[in-house]
A and B are shown apart, each in its own frame.
Chain A
Amino acid sequence: MSNMEQPLLQVRNLGVNFRLEGGTLFEAVKNISFEVPKNSTVALVGESGSGKSVSAMAVMRLLPRESAIVSAASEILFEGSDLLKLSDEGIRAVRGKDVSVIFQEPMSSLNPVFTVGDQIAEILCLHMGLSRAQAWRRAEELMHEVGIPDPGLRIKSFPHELSGGQQQRVMIAIAIACNPKLLIADEPTTALDVTIQKQILDLLASLQARHKMSVLFITHDLAVVGEIADHVVVMQNGEIKEKASAKQIFETPRDPYTKALLSCRPNVDERPMRLPVIADFLQAGGAARLKLEQRRRGYRDDDEIVLEVKNLSKHFRLKEGLFKSRDVAAVKDASFKLARGKTLGLVGESGSGKTTVGLTLMRLHESSGGEVLFDGVDLLKLSEADFMKYKRRIQIVFQNPYASLNPRFTVGQILMEPLTIHRLAAGNRQCIEMAMALLERVGLPEESFHKYPHEFSGGQRQRIAIARCLTMKPDVLICDESVSALDVSVQAQVLNLLQDLQDEYRMSYIFISHDLAVVKYISDQVMVMSDGDVIEVANSDDIYLNPQQEYTRQLLGSIPRGWQGN
């Protein structure tokens, strides 16, 4: 840190406990200290449960009154005065005026029954003493500043009438309306598509420069941090692992956790055989980067084709008005081939139709046309009874680990269910043995058999879901955004597991994701989709180095590059 003047925000010895049901206390933040200098961007990085959001909310005293306890030794000094010691009135004067916040989910953070103009004007009337008419005029100016097209028209809209990106821009407008000195951004782009994310990040950077305010940016994505932050604070389990300037963190990280966090995320430029995890760094001693063997990927001409899809289409019928109904084409005309033992990556933004392709293949949706050729048979034309025989051979792992396991079944029951349905085991004893063997294969302890899903973390639940699919020894496994909801380090572990299983069982994967870096890492061939259309299909290396279509280029250009060494 170069300037010696007093930092804008000083957090000292912050400790936050939560009261859980049954009276137990949970330590969310354990005695941390960090600073935010004037006119700079500090990134607070960590995975879920690290305490980063809790710390940020503590600054504004927005933690839930009933369950959160801030320790007495905590100090939060803003321009010298302790925010924790202010009266209710005092902190209200600071909120929205000197320090403001933008949240992760803009749709639920805006009041659904008031227009966006009202909500921006409200803060202007409160802190700046403007009249209603003046406030509305200023609100329109702000909406223009944050890049909302047609502000005169949009100012009268309700939040649900705007897209996610526009809603977040409205939140930003509210936040900067009174020229705050500090802006706290709590994962503002996590819920947005990658192209929109880039726009919002650029917007925040330009606003920061123009208004000379400081930004405390909370995120789990190190690539984003590399693009915008001056200083970085890395947290894990309520503690600070490392804090330094961005240059130091990215070029010479010291803590093993930081190193792991930096490396375990697939990089678009490399493809190691296995993604490194924290354990690898702890063993490697002080090395900042691990030298890893690279894996080559791509379809070859002599590959056996296990699944071929021709002209697959899926329409949804939406009722509209009294007699009309509208056809929405989720998938228009998709054709691709899947080679044995290889991975096909399906990539696109939300609404592109990639998930629909996966679900339609498995006949979880009824297709509107096309063929799915498996083992010489068109799966879409089979009757329900005939299809049962093939169900075992194509399986799917869903996105949400918290929703894909039946909360009332034990893990054992979850694993034995497919064995029972397809009669794959000769008796109860063998059933249990098979299930136990699979638990071990996916890296879960034996006791898991009798436990319920709620006792496991997200990554562990995905392993259980994978084990469930393995019970049937499928030829094809569809991974529908299976790692998207996981923390980066956990994601790496699950990706490694999937790769091990593919190497061992020669399963073919269809890997659906919006995350371009992950898709490039794990796929041999990549298919890019947008709005139901297939934009491009090519070997993964080729598509990233040499994209043929404009949309693909745009998509690749939006990926945060991370630290570029400025």
Chain B
Amino acid sequence: MTSRRGAITWPENKKGNGVIAYIFRRLWQMIPTLAGVVLLIFFLFNWVGGDPALVLAGKITNPEQIANIRRQLGVDEPYWYQLWVFVKQIVTFDFGRSWATNEEVSHIFLTRLGPTLTIMLPVLVLETVIGVVLAIGVAYVNGTVTDRMIMMICTVAMSISFLVYIIVAQYLFGFRLGWFPVQGWSESYWRNVTTFAPLPIMLAVFVGLAPVLRLYRSFFLDEINHDYVRTARSKGLAEKIVMLKHVLRNALIPILTNIGIALPGIFIGSFLMETFFSIPGIGREILVAVNRSDFPVIKAATVYLAMITMFINLLVDVMYKVVDPRVTLK
């Protein structure tokens, strides 16, 4: 335990002149990771994936036609050339066309992004806000019967498959009670938000609340055991203030980390709901592509989302400095 107890540490550079350097360093470090992702995807789809010509050709057994398809897809070229093409595609954001619908892949993503975000952004916001409020409450009554009961309910709720929830919800609220349409989507944003989106959103929040509650509760409980909480009490502060001012502010740090981890998931996390509710989002598109072995779509999705994930991680790490003054960006 050799800490520099006697030494004086002057305050570090307060303003963000280290931040720009940090961002550049991180961008530089992203390159090998991105290269790794590209290699992995290439390996999976161009190597392991087998000969897509056979898949697409279907019942055509004419070898000439199969060779023709191969040429069109570019899979008759040597591997290093295919990799080169792939890298070019990534850099120019042009992945060609879907093997199934012949729609331009970039067009597919741009149009499907809207519906996915219309559902997932409200879900993320609602989950976090409601989760934090409930978690503080539960942490406050830690150790009582209420606490244990709520945790029990959460555990049971989490053990029921998401599928069951969707099936039952669709049946109950859509079919039986008719409060919401069972499926569907429209062109109008307003109509979506008022008619088609509420049921999926409420369902997702309801199901997602249990794990979030458990997690955030553990964050709060961890903080409550720290020494500074004892100091706050020794000042004579009311328990409410201790929780809402001191504990919450510190717990925001792991909560922010958690949101950062969850954020990249919003693009694809809704794939089940989109399938059930016939919402034309990215998740459903990818699922359909998997079933149809539509490689360009899947490859593009994976690479794009990997990049988005890395940028979000960088963003969260920079935000960290705002939330936690102890952090020095290295």
A: residues with CB less than 8 A from B are 60, 62, 66, 88, 92-97, 100-101, 103, 105, 108-114, 122-123, 126-127, 157-158, 160-166, 171, 174, 191-193, 195-196, 319, 321-322, 349-351, 355, 399-400
Contact = CB atoms under 8 A, between A and B. Distances in A.
Given A112-B324, A114-B246, 8 more contacts: A93-B236, A97-B236, A101-B234, A109-B230, A122-B237, A164-B3, A350-B6, A400-B1
A122 B231 CA distance: 12
Interface of B: 1-12, 18, 21, 24-25, 143, 226-228, 230-239, 246, 249-250, 253, 323-326, 330
A101 B234 CA distance: 7
Contacts of B232: 111
A164 to B, nearest CB: 4
A126 B245 CA distance: 14
A322 B228 CA distance: 34
Given A110-B228, A114-B249, A174 B235 contact: yes
Main secondary structure of the interface of B (DSSP, over half): loop
Contacts of B227: 103, 105, 108-109
B32 to A, nearest CB: 17
A164 B326 contact: no
B238 A92 contact: yes
Contacts of B5: 163-165, 191-193, 196, 349-351
A165 B234 contact: no
Contacts of B226: 108
B2 A111 contact: no
Contact of B250 (A100, A112, A399): A112
Contact of B11 (A101, A157, A350): A157
A322 B246 contact: no
> Of residues A100, A164, A171, which shows the largest number of chain B Cβ atoms within 10 Å of its Cβ?
A164
B25 A322 contact: yes
Nearest to B11: A161
B74 to A, nearest CB: 40
B4 A112 contact: no
Contacts of B326: 112, 158, 160
Given A105-B227, A109-B227, A113-B325, A163 B7 contact: yes
Contacts, number: 118
A317 to B, nearest CB: 14
List 4 A-B pairs, minimum CB-CB distance, nearest first.
A95-B236, A193-B6, A96-B236, A96-B235
Contacts of B233: 62, 95
A66 B143 contact: yes
Nearest to B324: A113
Contact of A321 (B9, B21, B143): B21
Contact of A322 (B2, B7, B21): B21
11 contacts: A110-B228, A110-B231, A112-B250, A112-B325, A122-B235, A126-B236, A165-B5, A321-B21, A322-B25, A349-B5, A399-B1
A158 B228 CA distance: 14
Contacts of A166: 8
A196 B11 contact: no
Given A126-B237, A351-B4, A113 B230 contact: no
Given A158-B326, A321-B18, A355-B2, A111 B250 contact: yes
A319 B329 CA distance: 11
A175 to B, nearest CB: 9
Contacts of A161: 9-12
Given A163-B8, A355-B2, A126 B235 contact: yes
A103 B235 CA distance: 12
A94 B250 contact: no
A60 B234 contact: yes
Contacts of A399: 1
Contacts of B25: 322
A248 to B, nearest CB: 32
Contact of A108 (B1, B143, B228): B228
A240 B179 CA distance: 73
> Of residues B8, B235, B326, which shows the largest number of chain A Cβ atoms within 10 Å of its Cβ?
B235
Contacts of A351: 2, 4-7
A162 B12 CA distance: 11
Contacts of B325: 112-113, 158, 160
A80 to B, nearest CB: 20
Contacts of A60: 234
A350 B232 CA distance: 30
B6 A113 contact: no
A115 B324 CA distance: 12
Contacts of A88: 239
A350 B18 contact: no
Nearest to A164: B5
B273 to A, nearest CB: 37
B233 to A, nearest CB: 6
